[in-house]
Amino acid sequence: MVKAFLQPVMTAALAAALAGCLFQEQVESFDGPTMGSTYSVKYVRSKGVAPREALQAETEAILAELDRQLSTYRDDSDIARFNRLPGGECQPVAEDLRTLVAAGERLSRQTGGSLDLTLEPLLDLWGFGPRGRVENVPSASEIAEARRKVGHQHLHLDGERLCKDAPVQVDFNSIAAGYAVDRVAARLKDLGVSSYLVEITGELKAEGRKPGGEPWRIAIEAPRDDERVAQQVIALDGLAVSTSGDYRNYYERDGRRYSHTLDPVTGAPIEHRLAAVTVLHASALEADGLSTALMVMGPDKGLEYANREQLSALFVVRQGQEFTSMATAAFDRQFGGGERK
């Protein structure tokens, strides 16, 4: 009787053990186009994780929803309709859009106006917006005219409505991709993923470990416009990374370089020696917005602000034809042991 009872129990235990051996954690991935660029997701397939097809469908549904709400490159988006409204008007908007407006207002206030979501008239004027002229340096009077239509203080939320008291136009490019990374990462975790690396148009976040215990590693790119070179490789777990720089999106006129990064105070491209800045933060939205703001501030004010706020950031500064790196104390505490080129 004892032997007869033990046999099915042992058989069941052996079957369970074999099933566990047959299932091995492994890295899987999917990718695709989004926001005029691309996205990619790498994750560890483990027990309880939804199928890859479901993960990709959920990811692309989020990206399509955000594009419909936030894109300034499509006339039917929610923000495009809002941008066409005259001053003194309001429009009901979705929660994502309200979240981004509130985040933009907070970051603008915290950084002394170095981040501003209403720069689209100036971006267009300088040739970097969705309706910008190609590589044309505007006059002082044209800049002054465009600046009259710029200013985050002209926006406010009224319940579920976004309102403006001047004919401002909103552009979320400085924070939208980071927000998308946060949204996708949160949804993956809802679907059972505990280890992932999400990248959307260059903004990324990683959490967890790969099979074997190795961390996700990413390369901070050196500010080179002729080729892609890794400046430093760092391990991530629970952090997002955003890099802003003037080394790709720019043009030159009469020997002068015009960056796509505009200073909201002057209404013109930045002209300091800061070539790139990388910010690491638990929130991809915060990293995205802060990297833009620090890029506007420049190497001295930006480094001072980042250290004061205990941000983890790496600044790359031009020194003639060469580059030098300056890191905040928080960055050195986390990644100071990494190799820097």
49 contacts: CB under 8 Å, gap ≥ 6? 43, 55, 191, 192, 193
Cα dist from 191 to 43, 53, 102, 195, 235, whole Å: 12, 12, 28, 12, 24
Helix or strand run (H / E) with residue 124: helix 120-126
Residue 143: partners with Cβ closer than 8 Å, 6 or more residues away: 122, 125, 267, 268
> Which pLDDT tens digit goes with each residue over 82-135?
999 999 999 999 999 999 999 999 999 999 999 999 999 999 898 887 766 566
In angstroms, the CA 77 to CA 141 distance is: 31
Separation between Cα atoms, residue 76 and residue 87, nearest integer Å: 20
CA distance 242 to 277: 8
Segments of the chain assigned E as strands? 26-34, 37-45, 89-92, 155-158, 161-164, 196-200, 203-207, 216-221, 230-236, 239-245, 250-253, 256-259, 262-263, 268-269, 274-281, 312-319, 322-327
Mean pLDDT (whole number) for 145-156: 93
Enclosing H/E stretch for 144: helix 140-147
Distance CA 335, CA 341 (A): 14
Phi, psi of 117 (to 5 degrees): -80, -5
Torsions phi, psi of 228, nearest 5? -95, 120
Mean pLDDT of the chain: 88
Rounded CA gap, 119 and 115, in Å?
Answer: 9
d(CA 9, CA 2): 11
Burial per residue of 9-36, b for 16 or more beta-carbon CB atoms within 10 angstroms, e otherwise: eeeeeeeeeeeeeeeeeeeeebeeebbe
12 or 136: which leads in pLDDT: 136
Domains assigned to the chain: 26-72+173-204 (3.10.520.10), 77-164 (1.10.3980.10), 215-341 (3.10.520.10)
Ranking 2-6, 57-61, 106-110, 218-222 by mean pLDDT, the lowest is: 2-6
pLDDT above 70 for 228: no
Q: Which token pair is 23?
A: 């299932």
Q: What is the pLDDT of residues 33-73, one digit of tens each?
A: 999 899 999 999 999 999 999 999 999 999 999 999 999 98
Enumerate residues 6+ apart whose C-beta is below 8 A from 264. 113, 114, 115, 116, 119, 150, 296
Contact 219, 232 (CB under 8 A): yes
Sequence-separated contacts (24+) of 143-147 with Cβ below 8 Å: 143/267, 143/268, 144/267, 146/121, 146/122, 146/267, 147/122, 147/267
- Convert the pLDDT of each residue in 235-259 to its tens digit: 999 999 999 987 666 677 777 777 8
pTM: 0.88
Per-residue burial over 249-262, b = 16 or more CB atoms within 10 Å of its CB, e = otherwise: ebbeeeeeebbbbb
